[in-house]
Amino acid sequence: MKTAYLTHIEQRAKDNLPPLVLNAQQTKSVVENLINGNDDDFYLDLLTHRIPLGWTRLLM
């Protein structure tokens, strides 16, 4: 997930566009990675800045 998202950021930056918000599957992956203790800073940043309000309720 991390590699794919970093590639997405790079591709969007080439067009001077910000990264898109995360979809439901990506959001679920972020939460799972945080629970498993994987690269906490990266995934916490995504959780904080790239997930639209209300999407976390869909994961429950």
Lookup result for tokens 């906490």: 40
Q: Are 42 and 2 in contact (CB under 8 A)?
A: yes
Per-residue pLDDT for the chain (60 aa), expressed as one digit of tens each? 899 999 999 999 999 999 999 988 998 999 999 999 998 899 999 988 998 776 655 555
pTM recorded for the entire structure: 0.77
- Residue ranges per domain, the chain? 23-60
- Range 38-56 burial, b when 16+ CB lie within 10 A, else e: eeeebbeebbeebbeeeee
